[in-house]
Amino acid sequence: MCQKLIADARFFDFLLQIDQDLARMARAKGCRNLDCGGPLHSANYPRKPRGGPGNLGPGHDIRFSLCCALEGCRCRVTPPSVRFLGRKVYFAAVIVLATAMLHGPNAQRVARIREWLYVSWDTLDRWRRWWRDTFAKSSFWRATRGRFASPVDAATLPYSLLARFGGTHEARIVCALRLICPLTTTSAPGVQFA
């Protein structure tokens, strides 16, 4: 099921639309420099994301970013993203899904994930440790976890986080990505994606 979702270009098109909306909202706020307040222009970054379907259209290799148009300010604003986790080269949805699939890892499951994504065990383990150690102990997560009626097991993140959301696999992943997207900007409190 998860491999089908990651191979679905429509899912990635939907994530692109969410990122475009997040960029529009950031642009509407204008420059965050208190002395300026100028308009923001596009200053996007090219990316070479891994793990998604091969038939993605234009725009999927762009990390939206904005820059103040006023000379002398040029303050950069990088809106949150549901597609990219910091500087990681894999799509965010792929990282969340692959790490969730590692819950209760066994040799066969790990081999399947590695083959499916062409990713090393070291990378998978680094992602898992980030969720378990860095994310679970962050001020962002301490403030956010209280929004859930029942506790989210830190030892099985992000699997336990996805389990808290209802709906289809797609809807659960989108909810989780929306929840953590404040971490995808340099101005995010508490923890960054390394």
The HSE-up count of residue 99 (CA atoms within 13 Å, CB side) is 29
82 within some domain: yes
Torsion of CA 185, 78, 20, 51, to 10 degrees: -50
Would you write out the chain's pLDDT as a tens digit for each of its 194 residues?
577 888 899 999 999 999 999 999 999 988 888 778 789 999 999 999 999 998 898 899 999 999 999 888 888 889 999 999 988 889 999 999 989 888 766 778 888 888 888 888 899 999 999 999 999 999 999 999 999 998 999 999 999 999 999 999 999 999 999 999 998 886 554 454 44
Q: CB–CB of 193/95 below 8 Å? A: no
pLDDT digits (tens, 9 = 90+) for 140-172: 999 999 999 989 999 999 999 999 999 999 999
193 within some domain: no
Q: Which helix (H) or strand (E) holds 165?
A: none
Q: How many separate domains does the chain show? A: 1
Q: What is the pTM of this model?
A: 0.89
40 within some domain: yes
194 within some domain: no
Its sign, for the CA torsion 76, 194, 171, 9, is positive
189 within some domain: no
Range of the domain at 37: 2-184
DSSP-derived 3-state class of residue 78: coil
78 within some domain: yes
190 within some domain: no
Provide the strand spans (E) within 38-176. Answer: 40-42, 45-46, 62-63, 66-68, 76-77
Written as six digits, the tokens of 41 are: 């222009």
End-to-end Cα, the chain, rounded Å: 28
